[in-house]
Amino acid sequence: LLSKRLQAVYQMVDENTRVADIGSDHAYLPVELIEENIANYAIAGEVAVGPMSRSKKDVEKFGLSKKIDVRLGDGLAVIKEADRIDTVTIAGMGGILIQSILTRATLEQLSNVKTLILQPNIGEPLVRHWLVDNSFVIVDEDIVEEDHHVYEIIKAEKTNNIANLTEPEFLMGPILMQKKTPTFVSKWQHKLNSYQKAVSNMQNAKQIDQTKIDVMKQYIKYIEEIL
Ligand code: SAM
C-alpha cells in the first residue's frame, strides 16, 4: 500500500507509540501503522477539508475509527495534551513549511512529544537547524529514490544534551554522511557536478558575483571531502 518514500517514514516509527501524522492527506501512514500494530493510536491531521473528509470515510470503512482520529486543523493544532502523542510525523512537504509548522507549535502540543520523524521534499538543512535549535538530536536518517526524486527522512529525539552540527552535517545529514549509501553518493555526485558547472558559468559571466562563487566553492569542498 505505501510508496517507497512513505514506507521509509513508516520504518522509523517505534512500536507502542501514539502518533500524530500532520498533513496526512489520504491518511495512508496512520492506517498502516495501526493495521500493522506499530502504533497504539494515531491522529491524522489535515488542513484541507476535502482530503480530511475522504480519510474520515476510509477510516470508518476499514473499522479503524477507535484507533485513528482524523482531525481538521493547521499543523500541530490538532494535538491536545490529553492525546498523549509521543511521535509526530510530517512528510511530503517542503522544509520551509515543516519548519513553520514546528515553529508555530505550542509547548502544550509538544509536551509529550519525544520523537519527530520528518520527510522534507526539499530544504533539509532548514529542518536540521530547527531540530538543533529546539533541543532535538538526530538519531536516524534514511535516503530513498522514487520516481527520479531523492527523499531524505530524518528521525530526531528530544534531548537535554544539545549537540550542534557542523555545516556539512546540516547540508548532507550527520547520519546519512556516515551511512554513505549508493543513493546518497549518487545524489551528491550529481549536486557536485551541477555546482561545478555553476561556478564555471559564474566565473565566465560579465558581472562576477564573488560572494555567490565563494558559497558554491565551499559546498563543493564539503561534498568532495565526504564523497
Ligand atoms: N503526508 C502525506 C505524504 O507524505 O504522502 C501527504 C503529503 S501532501 C503532498 C501534503 C499535505 O499536507 C496536503 O494534504 C496538505 O493539505 C497538507 N498540509 C499543508 N499544510 C498543512 C498544515 N499547515 N497543517 C496540516 N496539513 C497541511
pLDDT of the residue at 107: 87
Strand order in the sheet with 149-158: 68-72, 39-46, 17-22, 87-93, 115-120, 149-158, 136-146
Residues 134 and 29 in one domain: yes
Determine the pLDDT at residue 157.
97
112 and 218 in a single domain? The answer is no
- In this structure, the strands spanning 39-46 and 68-72 are parallel
Q: Is 142 in the same domain as 194?
A: no
On whether residue 142 sits in a domain, the answer given is yes
**What is the total count of domains within the chain?**
2
In this prediction, residues 136-146 reach a mean pLDDT of: 97
Ligand 1 neighbour 2 (Cβ under 6 A): no
Domain-embedded: residue 171: no
Q: Could you tell me if 75 and 124 lie in one domain?
A: yes
Q: Are residues 118 and 205 in the same domain?
A: no
Residues 143 and 36 in one domain: yes
Is the CB of 30 inside a 6 Å radius of any atom of ligand 1?
no
CA of 25 to the centre of ligand 1 (A): 6
ipTM of predicted assembly, 2 dp: 0.99
What's the CATH code of the domain at 27?
Answer: 3.40.50.150
More confident residue, 8 or 110: 8
Q: Tell me the percentage of the chain whose pLDDT exceeds 90.
A: 93
d(CA 87, CA 15): 11
- In a domain? residue 177: no
Residue 173 lies in a domain: no
Q: Are residues 150 and 71 in the same domain?
A: yes
Considering the chain, what is the average pLDDT of its residues? 96
Q: Do residues 201 and 158 both lie within one domain?
A: no
The band of 100, judged by pLDDT with boundaries at 50, 70 and 90, is very high
Residue among 131, 215, 134 nearest 175 (CA) = 131
Residues 200 and 115 in one domain: no
**Does one domain contain both 130 and 202?**
no
Domain that holds residue 220: 184-226
Same domain, 197 and 101: no
Whether residue 134 contacts residue 93, with contact meaning beta carbons closer than 8 Å, is answered with no
- Which of 78, 93, 100, 153 gets mutated to test ligand 1 (max ligand atoms within 8 A of its CB)? 93
For the chain, counts of helices (H) and of strands (E): 10, 7
Are both 26 and 56 inside the same structural domain?
Answer: yes
In a domain, 217, yes or no: yes
Q: Which of 132, 162, 192 is the last residue of a domain?
A: 162
Tell me the C-alpha distance between 202 and 196, whole Å: 10
The pLDDT assigned to 181 comes to: 98
Nearest CA to ligand 1 atom 2: 24
The answer to whether residue 9 is domain-embedded is: yes
